[in-house]
Every structure is written in structure tokens, then in C-alpha cells.
């Protein structure tokens, strides 16, 4: 699948250097905002103040999405890319150009509808500046090449089709860690098209040419979701969005990219019992190992030692977050795109 060129020369920078000419009008109800404030900062440990001032609030900068997800900062374009999973769209937001449709379709190329979540979810940009997408409807990890070609990297394990890759983390070797829950299948784990008996955590290891070898790291999590590596790449984190047992698990990663058994790093059940909206979902890791993990209440800030430092409260069910070179933390929260001013998080991006 190739993507037709459009837009001004300025639009040709970044991971989506070539855009879909037919996709530029915003859907009805989707609009940029002027920074309406919402939410609050809850401080539980003074270490949080390294990153966020206690009086900061979120700014709402876009709204009208069905379920916003998968944000990633595109440094070359000075813009944020993010998914609207049910709408099958990748959007781009920048201070200069505002809100734009960057890619449609994003995760399901066929014309007929497929379930509630057909579009892309997690996004990442590799060392060559190419956009990688977790594509629910097409049940694959895809990549958009610099010439606009949309190629499949991984869509099977042991000859069987994946469920619906959800989120990914790129290792410095070029390997891709990813999760594969059933959320993109029309009927979840009861879907007739399901070919694997488990929900998996995987690593795709690059081999000769464009081929990848896919290894199963863990088949024991019922709903693996967000995934991230520590800065030294020795620890892998996975958020588990499992009903009444939301949590984040951690694995130790060896030099061959094999992992230790999972251990619970942070148990979010008490936050859910307190009536906070949302579940453990997306996560990013700062340079000192601090986690910014969406969960019940908003964005949970968790030290590398597993201590809950505080919550950036969005007031919404919150899907994912991304560090950015402009010093903001961008957050996809239900129908909104939010941001909050931070210290240091853009360093080392």
C-alpha cells in the first residue's frame, strides 16, 4: 500500500513525509481547542516535583475523537502523531499547523467495517525516522517507508495470525517488543478468526533483509497492553489491563533479548477500588527510570523503585502518553488530546 503525496513542502518533514491526499479534511466533530484547562496534579512524593509543578493543569488542545491512543513525538516534524483507533485515523498535531489528518486508513485497509477498533493503536518512530504502527484491523506491525510504501513487518507467530498488536517498544538493535491482546478482533477472544490460544508479549528480531524472527516472551498475561523499555534496555515493562486486576509487570532483559519471568512492579487495584476511571494502559519511561503510566485516575508517576510519586489527574479515562522535545507531556485521554508542562522530560528524547 502506497500513500499519495500532498500538502506543502513543510508537511514533507518527519515520519509521515508523504501524506494521503484524500484524507485531509477533519471528520465532523473533531476540532482543535485553544488550551482549555482541566485536571490537576496530585503529589504523593516530593520526587514528583522534579518533573511537574504542583499548580500545573492539563491543556485540552484537540477533541472529538472516538478513542485517542498511541502518541509519539516526531522530532523531525516538531509534531505529535497519535491514533484514533475506532476511526481508523492517525492525526498529527503541531504548534505551527494545528490538527491534521495524517493517515487514513491507519490500521485496516479494507472498505468493509471490522469491529469497534479497526485502526492503528501504538505508534513509534525508529532510528531511520520511519513510522511503525500497531494495526488492529490488519492484525500486524506495519511500517511506512520513507518513499511512502506501507509494508508488513510482522503478522504471524508460528504460522498463525496475530490477534491485534497493541503497543510496541523499539530496542537499539532494531528489535521490536510488542503486545498482542484481542481488542482489535470483532469478538475478542471469542472471535472465530482467532488463530492463537494466548495473548502474548513478543519480540521481533531483525534478520537478513526486511525479515523478522518472532519470539514469544510471555503467554501468561490475559490482557497485555502498553509496553516500554527502561533507558538502559535492561528492563521491560508491560501494563496489564485485566478487569479487576490492573497492574504493571516487569521483566529483566538479557543481552540476547530473552526475559526473566514477569513480576508485579505496580499493583493499581487500590486506585481502581477508590473509584478512579481507567485501567493500566500506555506507559513511557524517563531517563532516570521514572514511569509515566496511564492508569486509574490519569497518568501515574511511579519511581524506578515502584513507589507511586503522584498522579497527573486528567478527569478522563486515559489511554497513553508521550514525552516531547517542547517540554510537554502529551496525553491521549478518551475523546481528547491533552498536554501538560513538565521539566526535563524532553531531554534525551
Is residue 44 included in any domain, yes or no? no
Is residue 164 included in any domain, yes or no? yes
Cell matching residue 98 = 494545528
Is residue 200 included in any domain, yes or no? yes
Overall number of domains in the chain: 1
Rg (CA), the chain: 19
Between CA 293 and CA 284 the distance in angstroms is 6
Between CA 19 and CA 23 the distance in angstroms is 8
Q: Are 164 and 117 a contacting pair, CB within 8 Å?
A: yes
What pTM did the predictor assign?
A: 0.94
Is residue 229 included in any domain, yes or no? no
- Which pLDDT score is estimated for 242? 87
Is residue 262 included in any domain, yes or no? no
Question: How would you label 20-36 residue by residue, b for 16+ Cβ within 10 Å and e otherwise?
Answer: beebeebeeebebeeee
SS3 state at 189: helix
Cell matching residue 189 = 477472544
Cell matching residue 241 = 489491563
What ranges in the chain are assigned the alpha helix state H?
269-273
Residues contacting 157, CB < 8 A, separation 6+: 196, 200, 202, 214, 216
Is residue 251 included in any domain, yes or no? no
Helix (H), strand (E) at residue 179: strand 176-180
Is residue 306 included in any domain, yes or no? no
Residue 118's DSSP bridge partners are none
CATH assignment of the domain containing 86: 2.120.10.30
Q: For 22, phi and psi rounded to 5 degrees?
A: -85, 0
Is residue 298 included in any domain, yes or no? no
Task: Give residue-wise pLDDT tens across range 123-160.
Answer: 999 999 999 999 999 999 999 998 889 999 999 999 99
Task: Give the residues of the chain that fall short of pLDDT 70.
Answer: 1-12, 17-24, 113, 209, 346-349
Structural domain of 75 = 1-30+65-220
Task: Give residue-wise pLDDT tens across range 59-113.
Answer: 999 999 999 999 999 999 999 999 999 999 999 999 999 999 999 999 999 877 6
Amino acid at each position: 500500500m502506497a500513500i499519495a503525496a500532498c500538502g506543502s513542502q513543510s508537511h514533507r518533514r518527519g515520519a509521515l513525509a508523504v501524506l494521503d491526499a484524500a484524507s485531509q479534511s477533519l471528520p465532523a466533530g473533531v476540532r482543535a481547542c485553544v488550551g482549555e484547562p482541566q485536571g490537576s496534579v496530585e503529589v504523593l512524593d516530593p520526587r514528583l516535583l522534579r518533573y511537574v509543578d504542583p499548580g500545573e493543569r492539563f491543556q485540552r488542545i484537540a477533541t472529538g475523537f472516538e478513542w485517542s491512543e498511541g502518541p509519539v513525538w516526531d522530532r523531525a516534524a516538531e509534531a505529535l502523531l497519535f491514533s484514533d483507533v475506532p476511526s481508523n485515523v492517525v492525526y498529527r498535531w503541531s504548534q505551527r499547523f494545528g490538527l491534521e489528518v495524517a493517515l487514513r486508513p491507519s490500521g485496516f485497509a479494507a472498505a468493509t467495517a471490522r469491529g469497534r477498533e479497526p485502526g492503528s493503536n501504538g505508534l513509534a518512530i525508529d532510528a531511520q525516522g520511519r513510522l511503525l504502527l500497531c494495526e488492529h484491523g490488519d492484525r500486524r506491525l506495519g511500517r511506512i517507508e520513507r518513499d511512502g510504501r506501507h509494508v508488513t513487518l510482522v503478522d504471524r507467530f508460528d504460522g498463525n495470525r496475530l490477534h491485534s498488536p497493541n503497543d510496541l517498544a523499539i530496542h537499539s538493535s532494531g528489535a521490536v517488543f510488542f503486545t498482542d491482546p484481542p481488542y482489535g478482533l470483532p469478538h475478542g477472544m471469542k472471535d472465530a478468526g482467532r488463530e492463537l490460544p494466548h495473548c502474548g508479549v513478543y519480540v521481533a528480531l531483525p534478520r537478513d533483509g526486511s525479515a523478522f524472527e518472532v519470539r514469544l516472551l510471555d503467554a501468561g498475561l490475559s490482557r497485555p497492553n502498553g509496553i516500554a523499555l527502561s533507558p538502559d534496555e535492561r528492563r521491560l515493562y508491560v501494563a496489564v489491563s485485566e478487569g479487576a486486576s490492573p497492574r504493571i509487570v516487569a521483566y529483566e532483559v538479557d543481552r540476547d533479548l530473552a526475559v526473566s519471568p514477569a513480576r508485579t512492579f505496580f499493583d493499581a487495584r487500590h486506585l481502581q477500588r477508590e473509584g478512579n476511571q481507567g485501567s493500566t494502559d500506555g506507559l513511557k519511561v524517563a531517563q532516570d527510570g521514572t514511569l509515566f503510566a496511564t492508569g486509574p485516575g490519569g497518568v501515574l508517576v511511579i519511581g524506578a523503585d515502584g513507589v507511586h510519586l503522584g498522579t497527573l489527574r486528567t478527569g478522563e479515562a486515559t489511554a497513553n502518553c508521550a514525552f516531547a522535545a517542547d517540554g510537554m507531556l502529551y496525553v491521549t485521554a478518551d475523546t481528547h488530546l491533552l498536554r501538560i508542562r513538565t521539566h526535563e522530560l524532553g531531554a534525551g528524547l
